[in-house]
Amino acid sequence: MANDQKPSFYITTPIYYVNAAPHLGTAYCTMLCDVQARYRRAAGYDVKFLTGMDEHGEKVAEAAANHGFDTPQAWCDSQAPLFKNLWHELEISNDDFIRTTEPRQHHAVQYLWERMKESGYLYKGSYDGWYCVPEETYFTENQVKKSDEERETPGQHLCPDCGRPLERVQEESYFFKLSAFQDKLLALYDEHPDFVQPSFRMNEVRSFVEGGLNDLSVSRTSFDWGIPVPFDDEHVTYVWFDALLNYMTAVGYSLDDDASKAEYAHRWPAQYHVVGKDIIRFHCVIWPAMLMAIGEPLPEHVFAHGFLTVRNAETGKAEKMSKSRGNAIAPQDVVDLLGVEGYRYYFMTDVAHGEDSAISFERMEQVYNADLANSWGNLVSRSLNMSAKYFDGKTPELEAGWAQKDNPLRAIATGIEKRYAEHMDVMDYVGAKDVVMELVHAANHYIEDSTPWAVAKDEARAGELVDIIANLLESIRICAHLLSPFMPETSAEVLRRMSLEAEVDTCDLAAACEWGGIAGGVEVTKGDALFPRLATDKK
RNA sequence: GCCGGUGUAGCUCAGCUGGUUAGAGCACGCGGCUCAUACCCGCGAUGUCAUUGGUUCGAGUCCAAUCACCGGUACCA
């Protein structure tokens, strides 16, 4: 429900196409959103995090038949749990899961058609294409042209798949007058340079729009697995007016009751649509144009991430993941190696912001061992152990004002939340991680410099020992908060081991990161290693 | 073909508007320590900054050309 006390933060993943089982790429995109959603909740926002599935279209109907399902709906129903279960396993904290076959989407899409009709940006025309009779497949003019060129059979119009001659077909279709929005879109990009992120993607979008826009075919008569056009029974909605609209459907668009209207007013526009770079155009060109046409506010940002590739162990080169190459890595493979939280940490902090990235199990092990086992996990281990050992299973008793004393860790921790937020706010997780790891490394360094094991042997230095351990525990507490969006369960565990369970799931991160928050004289438990070191098979 | 981008240590990348001996993390080698997950801390080596030419007192940083790689060139999400 809408919470008017806090600002809304609405973030979405694309809706994933039902025909492809969830893979490393979809998990990556969903994790990007999850980390942002968790961060924003901690930062005091009223978050809605949406993901879901795109279930309409000709290919879904075909897949259903091929898999022996009676209806496309039954096929979709069988696939939805694959996504939901994986998101659950990967600690994805989505607040909603939309499926385009749901009644709410049906209602919203039909409502959109009426608004589009009123807008004057809709007209009926004909959509030209090429049809391969034996393959029963449609191809666009460009697909055919491209394959003819590659095959060096220009102008012959041969099927890209089987090479046989194609038939020219014309289909009646509704068109959205995308061409009318060129200037408005360019103005949007000028006025909101951060509409498309990272910034280097903006150039691609802009040059595309500058090259001129064609109107967009938005309905089909050649198949019927889709939402009917309300004023024309022959037509079903083609992808654009269906898939993209899900973002608005999920926050009450088209509904007339007071609660829904309030929800929509509170939530829309979205702050972030996170998408793969392959669908950037749909979100940065078509989608804003649609919204302009019907007079709805535009989303604030579209963030496009890169693709994950696999590093070939022998050649060192990045390759596309594919079943035929046999180089595909499944989410489960990564979970098996790193655990869920190690998985999240690796993909969120070792993939350069918005860029493609070649991943490898070797690199995963390195990052896991270096950052999680050796640095962060071991810091927690040694610090909690010393606290328990020197203070009888507890944190040291603290005198009032202890937190005001200067020390190297306090110096680094001061303002750390702000530095971290600058990166998190723009989804630069690598940069945010670096800020946190600076404190982790400093804390390990501080232990060496202050030699608490030596101080503990000298009763005259008891006060000094209290300060050392308190500074360590305090640093760990702050790091746990900052790492929580990436590794929520580990951070919660760390706080619990310091008897700070009340701080888990804070919604005031800035306050939580103020120096001086630990409790004195409470139980502390060393516990098992958070991230057991992985044995690397080095020869 | 056209448009755009990239090319900096073994790997992943920083290097803003040109200015002393080119940086970080990881990986690697040596030394120290022992609270800790054989961990941590210190020290160290490595780069003709893709190539060539140009502008400049001075260029990784600007310009041109060349080579290599990548993306886009729209209705598959």
ipTM at complex level? 0.87
Instruction: Write b or e for each residue in A517-536: b if 16 or more Cβ atoms lie within 10 A of its Cβ, otherwise e.
Output: bbbeeeebebeeebbeebee
Residue A400 three-state SS: coil
Determine if strand B comes within 7 Å of the CB of A532: yes
Helix pair angle (A462-483, A416-424), 10° resolution: 20
- Determine the distance between A203 (CA) and B4 (C1') in angstroms: 8
- DSSP string over A471-502: HHHHHHHHHHHHHTTT-HHHHHHHHHHTT-GG
Nearest nucleic acid nucleotide to A215, CA to C1' distance: B75
Long-range contact set of residues A413-421: C-beta below 8 Å, sequence gap at least 24? A413/A439, A413/A474, A413/A475, A413/A478, A413/A513, A413/A515, A414/A515, A416/A478, A416/A482, A416/A513, A417/A482, A417/A509, A417/A510, A417/A513, A418/A510, A420/A482, A421/A43, A421/A509
Q: By percentage, how much of chain A surpasses pLDDT 70? A: 94
Q: Which two tokens stand for residue A92?
A: 């994805």
pLDDT at A525: 95
pLDDT tier at A317, thresholds 50, 70, 90: low
Residue nearest to nucleotide B39 (CA to C1'): A374
Distance between CA atoms of A175 and A312, rounded to whole angstroms? 45
Residue A139 three-state SS: strand
Q: Are A101 and A55 in contact (CB under 8 A)?
A: yes
Over residues A11-39, mean pLDDT: 92
Nearest nucleic acid nucleotide to A205, CA to C1' distance: B72
The strand ranges marked E within A76-201 are 96-99, 122-132, 137-139, 167-176, 196-197
Report residues 35-54 of A contacting strand B, contact meaning Cβ closer than 7 Å: 54
- Determine the distance between A77 (CA) and B30 (C1') in angstroms: 61
Closest among A434, A49, A472, A73 to A247, alpha carbons compared? A49
Residue nearest to nucleotide B33 (CA to C1'): A448
Distance between CA atoms of A158 and A141, rounded to whole angstroms? 11
Report residues 124-163 of A contacting strand B, contact meaning Cβ closer than 7 Å: 127, 138-143, 146
Report residues 249-278 of A contacting strand B, contact meaning Cβ closer than 7 Å: 277-278
Residue A136 has pLDDT above 90, yes or no: no
Report residues 162-191 of A contacting strand B, contact meaning Cβ closer than 7 Å: 178
- Determine the distance between A199 (CA) and B17 (C1') in angstroms: 19
Report residues 210-249 of A contacting strand B, contact meaning Cβ closer than 7 Å: 212-217, 238-239, 243
| pLDDT tens for each residue of A156-183 | 777 767 777 777 878 889 999 999 999 9
- Determine the distance between A490 (CA) and B76 (C1') in angstroms: 39
- Determine the distance between A471 (CA) and B58 (C1') in angstroms: 48
Report residues 432-491 of A contacting strand B, contact meaning Cβ closer than 7 Å: 441, 444-445, 447-448, 451-454
Over residues A190-217, mean pLDDT: 86
Chain B: positions less than 7 Å from a protein CB are 3-5, 11-14, 25-28, 32-42, 70-77
Determine if strand B comes within 7 Å of the CB of A123: no
pLDDT at A153: 66
pLDDT tier at A539, thresholds 50, 70, 90: very low
- Determine the distance between A149 (CA) and B71 (C1') in angstroms: 20
pLDDT tier at A78, thresholds 50, 70, 90: very high
Work out whether the CA dihedral A340, A341, A346, A351 comes out positive or negative: positive
Over residues A30-44, mean pLDDT: 96
| pLDDT tens for each residue of A365-420 | 989 999 999 999 999 999 999 999 999 999 999 998 899 999 999 999 999 999 99
pTM of the model: 0.93
Determine if strand B comes within 7 Å of the CB of A203: yes
- Determine the distance between A425 (CA) and B20 (C1') in angstroms: 37
pLDDT tier at A538, thresholds 50, 70, 90: very low
